Amino acid sequence: MRFSANRTLPGILLLLPAVLIFVSAAFGAADISFMTAVKAVIEQLGFGDFGLPDTVKLIIISIRLPRILLAAIAGAGLAAAGAVFQAVFQNPLAEPYLLGVSSGASLGATIAIIFGAGLLGGRLGSLGGITLFAFAGAVLTILLVIGVSGRTRGDFSGLLLGGIAIGYIFQAGISFLMMLNQDKVDRIVFWMMGSFSFSTWDKVKLTAVIVSICIFLIQLNASKLNILSLGTDEAHSLGINPGRTGLFFLLVSCFLTAAVVSVSGIIGFVGLIIPHLMRLLTGPDHRKLIPASAAGGASLLILADIAARSLMAPREIPVGVITAFIGGPFFLIMLGRKRRESIR
């Protein structure tokens, strides 16, 4: 019996992150085999008892698995948000940080790193001050951009310009704070480069809930996203309000990006390159593109996290550096391809 690529591809894409989670669990400073990692996860789920040493279970369940799952969740969120931004702005170069969310999150994280335990009297909960203040900064940015830009009727250039302006202001604030607190610069820069080294189960659970809800809302309205990507006039003729619908998608995607950035720092190119690759495999229909992008983004960041932990062990490379090394050449290839198409 023969199966077409269109039928088997979605299943393969969704299965790939699950396989990579187990593969990634076997990588690290401690020498643990792939099968041992699988047994540890199965045992944790309550489906067997393989008599594994407590140290092995501690390494897999408490240290490696939270960061692997957080990488998968972050990758899924950024890639899905990137697909939405490219559709709403009708621009293949659009990505989740376009409206300044990363700058707001970075400012919040910078404030938390500098002032530390003094914030709110030290009562910041198990998620940590950096995560909470980064999320607050990102959400504040979204509200400011919308407030400054005013109402839109399908033209989102005002939002784009507002996001760029506020992003520059926040970047100036970050630079000023770093100048006054040079002893904290290394930690601020490392956070801004993106990393999953401070992952916890609390972060995994909360981020998973937010990202899942946001992707569900996007997927639920994916047919409207298809119409919106055709243009303002086409959307109007098909009974869709492009301003209201586009703003809904941008709000959900920005909130999704805020949740991811607050726990991972700034990880670039995922929301840019993955939607492009998945579009080549699944086509432009967002009902297929959104879940495919989520699966592809999860797979990419799991692989990037493996590279970050392994290439210079025991030192760790920021995940954002790995994705930049991957995304930069891809971006140049894409530009070259568009140039050749324009010449023909």
CATH fold label, 16-343: ABC transporter involved in vitamin B12 uptake, BtuC (1.10.3470)
Mean pLDDT of the chain: 85
Q: Which residue has the higher pLDDT, 16 or 157?
A: 16
- Selection from 27, 8, 98, 14 nearest residue 298 by Cα: 14
Q: Across residues 186-202, what is the average pLDDT?
A: 89
Long-range Cβ pairs for the range 290-294 (8 Å, 24+): 290/80, 290/83, 290/84, 290/215, 290/218, 290/219, 290/222, 290/225, 291/10, 291/13, 291/14, 291/219, 292/9, 292/10, 292/13, 293/79, 293/80, 293/82, 293/83, 294/76, 294/77, 294/79, 294/80, 294/215
Map out the domains of the chain as residue ranges. 16-343
Per residue in 108-155, pLDDT tens?
Answer: 999 988 887 555 544 444 456 788 899 999 999 998 988 887 666 667
User: Which burial class, exposed, middle or buried, applies to 333 when counting CB atoms under 10 A from its CB (0-12, 13-18, 19+)?
Assistant: exposed
In terms of pLDDT, which residue wins out, 265 or 53?
265
pLDDT (tens digit, 9 = 90+) per residue, 48-68?
Answer: 777 778 888 888 888 889 999
Q: What is the pLDDT at residue 27?
A: 82
Residue 318 has pLDDT above 80, yes or no: yes
The answer on pLDDT for 78 being more than 80 is: yes
pLDDT of residue 239: 80
Whole-angstrom distance, CA of residue 128 vs CA of residue 199: 11
- The pLDDT, as a whole number, for residue 326 is 86
Interatomic CA distance for residues 139 and 132, integer angstroms = 11
Quick one: pLDDT at residue 289? 93
Instruction: Specify the pTM.
Output: 0.90
Q: Which of 37-41, 95-99, 133-137, 318-322 has the lowest mean pLDDT?
A: 37-41
Span 31-48, average pLDDT: 79
Contacts of 249 (CB under 8 A, 6+ apart): 84, 87, 88, 218, 221, 225, 228
Residue 312: per-residue pLDDT: 82
Pick the closest to residue 65 from 54, 75, 76, 73 (CA basis). Answer: 73
**Which residues lie below 8 Å from residue 306, measured CB to CB, with a gap of 6+?**
23, 24, 27
Higher pLDDT: 341 or 214? It is: 214
More confident residue, 165 or 7: 165
Q: DSSP character for 29?
A: S
